[in-house]
């Protein structure tokens, strides 16, 4: 295994999916886990709970609303409605249960490809159908196509799974774009399900959908968790937030099991992250932003024909490798280069993005450089 700087963990003995999916000689740059040490306040809280054998079911969690309220105000100047929070097993379960409640099998769900690959699995799980309004590339930034979104609403689509910020392109949608989405949702009576799990990892100003005023409150629910930004995905806890009485009523009618199926350790790690994890978060955003610049530099040096785009959040790079004209990119990089990435077509429902990959750069610069070197050994050969 390659060494990393001090802030990166010692991976030996880690058992998460990132370290088990592929053989040891493969560099895992695929799944969205960071190689950082988890924030000390979270680890301390978990150790206390484990030492106290405090591992029962998750009951009420009155600590979450004030902790998130303070964080959201401080970070995004968002005054949340603390009566609108509901715990969920994780973000995926929240999305699935909301879809099940507000739509029926066969209904269309609006997405913007390229988007998080599990969106397609969640939509399939509830027997619905994705309706794509693809992002468009403008000035090297992947952006929402507001006209295509309106066309979808006009065509009768009534639920919109928005990825904000957007995995895998790292776009932070602007306040103006999101305000227009809120206006359109109000005009056509649609519900926006805004997945904001990556929001704390933004280095440009992020706009929470529910900070946009009445139209947004009346037509949206936000689903989120600290599990991505504080790197605790295996702990299983998330929540949703709604801010109008009509949407709150719908969310109250979601299955109680969402709460029971969340983990006590995960729930308290969320409280700890919002209360005491902001310094760690600031440091992490700085590191991934530096890595973004480093990756751009490495690509220019080692893979000069790769196209890399502007990003404002997250550690997942979307790379266009079409200039190399290689079939089965992800398979070849894995087999011949011993680098695991996520294949482009997983980010659409219809096989688009064959020439793209998603590459996780939340690791040491040594490993980023080595992964790019291995990719170059396949692509530049």
Ligand X SMILES: Cc1ncc(COP(=O)(O)O)c(C=O)c1O
- Applying CB under 6 A, the residues found at the interface with ligand X are 32, 90-92, 116, 163, 167, 195, 197-198, 225, 227-228, 233, 238
Shortest spacing between CB 88 and ligand X, in angstroms: 8
Residue closer to ligand X by CB (options 167, 364) is 167
Residue closer to ligand X by CB (options 238, 337) is 238
Contact predicate 197/191, CB 8 Å: no
Vertex 35 angle, CA 238 and 279, to 5°: 65
Shortest spacing between CB 238 and ligand X, in angstroms: 5
Instruction: Please name which of 224, 223, 200, 220 lies closest in space to residue 211, comparing C-alpha atoms.
Output: 220
Q: Give the pairing of strands 159-163 and 141-143.
A: unpaired
Residue closer to ligand X by CB (options 41, 238) is 238
State CA 160 to chain mean position distance: 16
Give, for 129, the enclosing helix (H) or strand (E): strand 129-132
Shortest spacing between CB 281 and ligand X, in angstroms: 17
Residue closer to ligand X by CB (options 225, 302) is 225
Cα 213 to Cα 158: distance, rounded to the nearest angstrom: 20
Cα 173 to Cα 171: distance, rounded to the nearest angstrom: 6
Shortest spacing between CB 202 and ligand X, in angstroms: 13
Residue closer to ligand X by CB (options 96, 128) is 96
Contact predicate 311/165, CB 8 Å: no
Cα 352 to Cα 347: distance, rounded to the nearest angstrom: 8
Residue closer to ligand X by CB (options 58, 91) is 91
């Amino acid at each position: 295994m390659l060494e990393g700087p001090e802030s990166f963990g010692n991976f030996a003995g880690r058992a998460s999916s990132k370290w088990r999916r592929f053989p040891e000689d493969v560099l895992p740059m695929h799944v969205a886990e960071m190689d950082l040490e988890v924030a000390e306040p979270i680890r301390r809280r978990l150790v206390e709970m484990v030492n106290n054998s405090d591992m029962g079911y998750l009951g009420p969690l009155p600590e979450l609303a004030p902790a998130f309220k303070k964080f959201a105000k401080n970070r995004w100047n968002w005054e949340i409605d603390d009566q609108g929070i509901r715990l969920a097993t994780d973000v995926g379960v929240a999305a699935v249960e909301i879809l099940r409640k507000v739509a029926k099998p066969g209904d269309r769900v609006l997405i913007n490809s390229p988007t998080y690959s599990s969106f397609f699995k969640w939509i399939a799980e509830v027997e619905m159908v994705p309706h794509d309004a693809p992002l468009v590339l403008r000035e090297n930034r992947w952006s929402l196509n507001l006209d295509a979104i309106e066309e979808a609403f006009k065509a009768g689509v009534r639920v919109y799974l928005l990825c904000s910020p957007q995995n895998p392109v790292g776009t932070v949608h602007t306040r103006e774009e999101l305000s227009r989405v809120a206006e359109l949702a109000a005009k056509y009576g649609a519900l926006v399900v805004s997945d904001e799990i990556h929001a704390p990892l933004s280095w440009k100003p992020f706009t929470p959908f529910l900070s946009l005023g009445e139209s947004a409150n009346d037509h949206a629910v936000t689903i989120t968790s600290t599990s991505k930004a504080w790197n605790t995905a295996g702990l299983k806890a998330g929540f949703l937030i709604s801010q109008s009485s009509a949407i709150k009523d719908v969310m109250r009618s979601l299955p109680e099991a969402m709460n029971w199926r969340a983990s006590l350790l995960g729930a308290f790690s969320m409280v700890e992250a919002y209360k005491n994890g902001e310094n760690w978060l600031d440091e992490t955003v700085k590191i991934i932003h530096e890595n973004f610049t480093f990756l751009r530099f490495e690509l220019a040096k080692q893979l000069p024909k790769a196209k890399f785009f502007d990003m404002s959040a997250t550690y997942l790079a979307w790379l266009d490798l079409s200039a190399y004209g290689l079939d089965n990119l992800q398979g070849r990089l894995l087999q011949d280069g011993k680098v695991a990435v996520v294949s482009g077509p997983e980010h659409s429902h219809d096989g688009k993005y064959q020439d793209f990959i998603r590459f996780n750069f939340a690791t040491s610069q040594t490993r980023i450089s080595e992964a790019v070197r291995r990719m170059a050994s396949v692509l530049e050969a």
